[in-house]
Chains A and B, each alone.
Chain A
Amino acid sequence: DQQVKQNSPSLSVQEGRISILNCDYTNSMFDYFLWYKKYPAEGPTFLISISSIKDKNEDGRFTVFLNKSAKHLSLHIVPSQPGDSAVYFCAASALRNSGNTPLVFGKGTRLSVIA
């Protein structure tokens, strides 16, 4: 059973517009969330994270929003640029006595930014 779900396999957005990538999770114990970005033939790279004590974290063009009651987070990219075209993975972990659990990843959403 998937604990982290990215229900949109792909998304196309016009350059300059906002890209919104969504992620849902089922484990209410998750308290730390991350987004990774992956270009073809490269490994995923860390983009932005958010702790469950916050509902928003912003870093330049990238903002992550967390809605704990809905078990939903989203990544906003504005303005979108062609170089943002990649696969975006949502990941989550839960706190336990021995530290956080390993990250659980979603399947990814392929973003295409059209010039």
Chain B
Amino acid sequence: ETGVTQTPRHLVMGMTNKKSLKCEQHLGHNAMYWYKQSAKKPLELMFVYNFKEQTENNSVPSRFSPECPNSSHLFLHLHTLQPEDSALYLCASSQDYILNSPLHFGNGTRLTVT
């Protein structure tokens, strides 16, 4: 296993469901991120964790709940989502959040909310 791994790759859920996205990085990085990519929009930062502490919450609705149990794992818990939340959710990691270290992205989870 190398890099940043995201599961599942695809997820279809109803508006009343509860599901979780998982991200794992094998790079020894200290910072992890959730990004959202909607059609025809730029990548939007959702959350940042640095050394397991949340350092950024980019005004994300509470129906998205992140969890970072350790520096290698990041979860995004989803509940009562809306159809407009359908998007590609990308996890990323970097060596350090303070310094300019490039992001390493996973392949994303394609989420469809019905």
| Stretch in A14-22, A64-72, A78-86, A97-105 with 4+ CB within 8 Å of B | A97-105
The binding surface of chain A is classed by DSSP as strand
- B56 — nearest CB in chain A belongs to which residue? A102
Contact B42 A2 (CB under 8 A): yes
Question: Which residues from A are CB-within-8-Å of B33?
Answer: 102
Q: From residue 3 to 40 of chain B, which have CB atoms closer than 8 A to chain A?
A: 4, 6, 33, 40
Interface size on A, residues (CB 8 A): 26
Q: From residue 51 to 76 of chain A, which have CB atoms closer than 8 A to chain B?
A: 51
| Complex Cα spacing A100 to B103, Å | 13
The binding surface of chain B is classed by DSSP as loop
Contact B102 A89 (CB under 8 A): no
- B105: interface (CB < 8 Å): yes
| Complex Cα spacing A108 to B108, Å | 17
Known: A43-B90, A43-B107, A99-B97. A34 touches B102 (CB 8 A): yes
Q: From residue 70 to 114 of chain B, which have CB atoms closer than 8 A to chain A?
A: 90, 92, 97-100, 102-108
Known: A43-B90, A43-B92, A105-B43. A99 touches B99 (CB 8 A): yes
Q: Quote the shortest CB–CB distance from B55 to chain A (angstroms).
A: 8
- A7: interface (CB < 8 Å): no
Interface size on B, residues (CB 8 A): 24
Question: Which residues from A are CB-within-8-Å of B92?
Answer: 43
When the two chains form the complex, which single residue of A4, A32, A41, A45 contacts B42, counting CB atoms closer than 8 Å? A4
Question: What would be 28 A-B contacts, judged by CB atoms less than 8 Å apart?
Answer: A2-B42, A4-B42, A34-B102, A41-B107, A43-B6, A43-B107, A43-B108, A44-B43, A44-B90, A45-B104, A45-B105, A46-B103, A46-B104, A51-B100, A89-B42, A93-B100, A99-B98, A99-B99, A100-B99, A100-B100, A102-B45, A102-B48, A102-B56, A103-B45, A105-B43, A106-B42, A107-B41, A107-B42
- Lowest 8 CB-CB distances: which A-B pairs, in order? A43-B105, A99-B98, A46-B102, A105-B43, A105-B42, A102-B45, A43-B107, A44-B105
Q: Which residues of B contact A (CB under 8 A)?
A: 4, 6, 33, 40-43, 45, 48, 56, 58, 90, 92, 97-100, 102-108
